[in-house]
Amino acid sequence: MTSWRASVRASVGTFLLDAAIEGSRQAVALIGPNGSGKTTFLRFLVGAVHPEEGEFILGNKSLVDTQKDVNVPTEQRRVGYVPQGYGLFSHLNVLDNVGYGLVGGPNRLDLSQRHLKARQILENLGCASLAGRRVAGLSGGEQQWIALARALVIEPELLLLDEPLSALDASKRRKTRKLLSQRLQLFGRPSILTTHDVRDVAVLGAHIYVLEKGRIIQSGTLDHLIRKPASDFVAEFVGPATLEDYT
Amino acid sequence: MGLIPLVAMLSASMLATGCQGSRAAIEVKTELIVYAASSLVGAFAELEIGFEEANPGIDVRTTFAGSQVLRFQIEQGGPADIFASANQDHMEALVGGGQITNSLIFAGNDLVVIVPKANPAGIQTFADLGQATLIVLGSENVPVGAYTRQLLDNAEQHFGEPFKKHVEARTVSLENNVRLVRTKVEMGEADAAIVYRSEAFSPRLTMIPIPEKLNARVRYPIGVLARSENPSQARTFIDYLLSTEGVQTLSSHHFLAVQ
Amino acid sequence: MNRNGFFSSLGSLLGIVLVSLLLVPLLAMLVSTSHQDIVAGIAHPMFLPALFLSLKTTSISLALTCLLGTPLAWWLASSRSKSTKIIELVVALPIVIPPAVLGVGLLQTFGREGLLGSLLQNLGLSIPFTASAVIIAQIVVSSPFFIQAATSSFRKVEPDILMVARTLGSSAVSAFFRVALPISLPGIVAGASLAWARSLGEFGATLLFAGNMKDETQTMPLAIFSAMESDLQLAIVFSLVLVGGGGILLAALRCLPLTVALTKRRPR
């Protein structure tokens, strides 16, 4: 089981992101108001942001260390990424999207094996029927599973999900939340997700980091946050969780 | 002064100036539209000024283009009063087609060789033309090109076949516009070109004369269009060209007087 | 008629007027041409050399434009440097400069007396009045259209998508070829069509820089202009062939992404 830790100090637009988080087996949730730097943090982990200072250790590998001038290129980090909007490749069908990471590099497989593995993972996620479809016709929920399948197929060491459920309508969210939680448990590797919704955190049983204006203002379990919210935002965030029927 | 006399005086003066202003506006000038071959551009600009000074009631507006283009426009009904061509064929075609009743020759020209001031090919006489590696000529389709072909045929008879063949082999561009031919030599991008004498006077060019017996005789005919609405004013313009002042202007632009 | 109906009809009318303005002159030329004219035109000694030269030079200039323009467009689209604005402006300039003036500029650069004149002479190269000059002139006038279209297309590719591709193991170059380029292809092809059309019709810069010589530099537009001096009907026939041929080529180019996509869809 891989453990990881990351800290970053970077100027983004009008504010400074200065945060450190870590995790291992348990899913980690990064919450915060819009513009607090959640997506930027994920983009740092992925390698899209160049920080003034930063460190990112995944397992026993140092992926980023500004002091030692270490900056492993994105394609070698083994970090899976499902961005907001899912980022599916519109020019490829579902099967080719999922199999993308298996075409070159260390995970390379030939055509038939690639398709086999892609189909396998689609089945695991319950989307086998979508294999030949074009991206354009997929619903938000379907896109989310495809994006997840695509990220999982390369067996990443760490999985990043940016607002994975926000594009879904309320009715879908409940069901998908449970499924996602199960899949992540099955996946068995560390994951970080950002979310607006406390119910996502509750179902996932994640450890929470609260990011406000680029700084971590609280870290802990959901119970901890409910009992001692560190800010108005946190209090508002946990609000729905104090109601009985949130699952 | 009382108010009423003041107003009366102001009104009177305004009316007076008003009358003068509008009198000038009432005086409408007759417009003469001249279609002239491009090689006449410099000369006609000056002739226009001189003519308008002598005839303040006439406003001359000139369009310059290749003679072939102007002929085409006239055939298509272009609103010209006068046509001045660099080539007798075009004029004869229009006379034959009835667009022009008759014409006369008002100026002449002949061909010369031009080389850049630096003379990279070292051409001193017409016979040296074969030394040039980059020659630009007028295309056969335009008057200057047709005259050049005549010249080269004459030269072939005189110098023998190799001369003409050499020149043709080293011709790198055939332009539809004599000004363009000249420009390329002025820029030093061509070693030599053959253009009208009237085009050869430029600080960036050296002119090399062509023996008279080989040279082409360029004649500029001018005629009034049959459908012109101002035939008498048009004839006045042509008379001006043939007058002492007109001939002087033309020769200052290096056109040859007509015998 | 209600308000929407009125505006809709007005819009259609205006559109029809514009399309007619574009189409009717072509039809007028077509109608004025007889069967014999067309045969005579195609048999004329100016025709085949000009056609062949046009096809050859425009193909080469298109290929070079795409080759040189695509990386530039990608840089313009993805770089955050301030110099992109300046470069974009420079790239757009040839569109507003009269082609003949561009021709003079090219002569003043590559000509014997030009900025690079002595350098080229030392290398044994003489560019004006050659087919290379034709190609260079075509590239100068047409590449702005390609670069603008390609840049615009590349800009529409969301950076997130490329990031995802990279997390899946693609290097930056690989992500460009496997994701950015295919997604942008329709816009790039449209830009290439426009550039090709512009080169096909290119006249002023070619005339000044390359000159007008059958078999060497006389492309179709130059041949048309020359023909016009002596035989208008000939010029019209040449023009109709240019329009017809050019139209077919453009249509084929537009259909290219479609054919590529169709061949890829075959079941495996």
User: What are the tens digits of pLDDT across the range B34-91?
Assistant: 999 988 988 999 999 999 999 999 999 999 988 888 998 999 888 999 999 988 989 9
Over residues B162-178, the mean pLDDT reads 91
Q: Give the whole-angstrom CA distance, residue A125 versus residue A168.
A: 17
Residue-level pLDDT at A200? 84
Q: Annotate B120-143 with b (16+ C-beta within 10 A) or e (fewer).
A: bbebeebeebbebebbbbbbbbbb
Distances (CA, A) of B101 to A147, B115, B223: 85, 41, 8
Q: Quick one: closest CA in A to C173, which residue?
A: A75
CB contact under 8 A, C163 and A74: yes
Residue-level pLDDT at C252? 83
* pLDDT tens-digit map of C34-69: 989 899 999 999 999 999 999 999 999 999 999 999
Residue-level pLDDT at B17? 52
In 3D, which of A57, A10, A62 has the Cα closest to residue A215?
A10
Give residue limits of the domains in chain A.
Answer: 4-78+158-246, 89-155
Distances (CA, A) of C155 to A48, A136, C75, C180: 17, 20, 10, 10
pTM value? 0.81
Q: Contact, B28 vs B102, CB < 8 A?
A: no
For chain B, first and last CA: distance in Å? Answer: 74
Residue-level pLDDT at B13? 58
Indicate if the pLDDT at residue C245 is higher than 90. no
Long-range contacts of A138-143 (CB under 8 A, 24+ apart): A138/A88, A138/A94, A140/A167, A140/A168, A140/A172, A141/A168, A141/A172, A141/A176, A143/A86, A143/A88, A143/A167
Which CATH fold would you assign to the domain A4-78+158-246?
Rossmann fold (3.40.50)
Q: What Rg, from alpha-carbon coordinates, does chain A have?
A: 18
- Classify residue B119 as left (phi > 0), alpha (psi -120 to 50) or beta: left
* pLDDT tens-digit map of A16-66: 999 999 998 888 999 988 888 899 999 999 999 889 999 999 988 999 999
**Which residues, 6 or more positions from C65, have their beta carbon under 8 angstroms from its beta carbon?**
C139, C142, C143, C146, C192, C195
Residue-level pLDDT at B7? 63
Q: Quick one: closest CA in B to C113, which residue?
A: B188
**Taking all residues of chain A, what is their mean pLDDT, rounded to a whole number?**
88
Indicate if the pLDDT at residue B12 is higher than 90. no
Distances (CA, A) of C179 to A104, A135, B242, C165, C176: 14, 14, 76, 7, 6
Residue-level pLDDT at C181? 95
Q: Give the whole-angstrom CA distance, residue B65 versus residue A4.
A: 80
Q: Output the CA angle C180-A35-C157, nearest 5 degrees.
A: 10
Sign, CA torsion B186/B189/B191/B193? negative
Residues B70, B73, B75, B80: what is their CA dihedral angle, to the nearest 10 degrees? Answer: -80
Residues of C with CB under 8 A from a CB of A: 158-161, 163-171, 174, 178-179, 182-183, 185, 268
Residue-level pLDDT at A151? 94
Q: Give the whole-angstrom CA distance, residue C268 versus residue C261.
A: 14
* pLDDT tens-digit map of C214-232: 889 999 999 999 888 778 8
> How many Cα atoms occupy the beta-carbon half-sphere of B123 within 13 Å?
32
**Portion of chain C with pLDDT greater than 70, in percent:** 96
Q: Which of A227-231, C205-209, C227-231 has the lowest mean pLDDT?
A: C227-231
C111 vs B contacts (CB less than 8 Å): 187-189
User: Which among C101, C112, C126 is the top mutation candidate for probing chain B, defined by the most B β-carbons within 10 Å of its own β-carbon?
Assistant: C112
ipTM over 0.95: no
Q: Using DSSP bridges, classify how beta strands B30-37 and B82-84 pair: parallel, antiparallel or unpaired.
A: parallel
Residue-level pLDDT at B8? 65
| Among candidates B136, B176, B188 on the partner chain, residue whose Cβ is nearest the Cβ of C112 | B188
**Portion of chain B with pLDDT greater than 90, in percent:** 67
Distances (CA, A) of B100 to B81, B94, B228: 10, 6, 9
Q: Quick one: closest CA in C to B120, which residue?
A: C112
Sign, CA torsion C254/C259/C264/C265? positive
* pLDDT tens-digit map of B75-112: 988 899 999 998 898 999 999 999 998 899 999 999 99
In 3D, which of B93, B32, B78, B14 has the Cα closest to residue B233?
B32
* pLDDT tens-digit map of A65-123: 999 999 999 999 999 999 998 999 999 999 999 999 998 777 778 888 889 999 999 99
B171 vs C contacts (CB less than 8 Å): 213
* pLDDT top residue among A194 and C250: A194
Q: Quick one: closest CA in C to A162, which residue?
A: C160
Residue-level pLDDT at B167? 93
Question: How many interface pairs between B and C have CB atoms less than 8 angstroms apart?
Answer: 62
Over residues A188-199, the mean pLDDT reads 87
A77 touches chain C (CB under 8 A): yes
In 3D, which of A229, A242, A169, A160 has the Cα closest to residue A199?
A242
Residue-level pLDDT at B19? 47
Residue-level pLDDT at C255? 80
Residue-level pLDDT at C268? 43
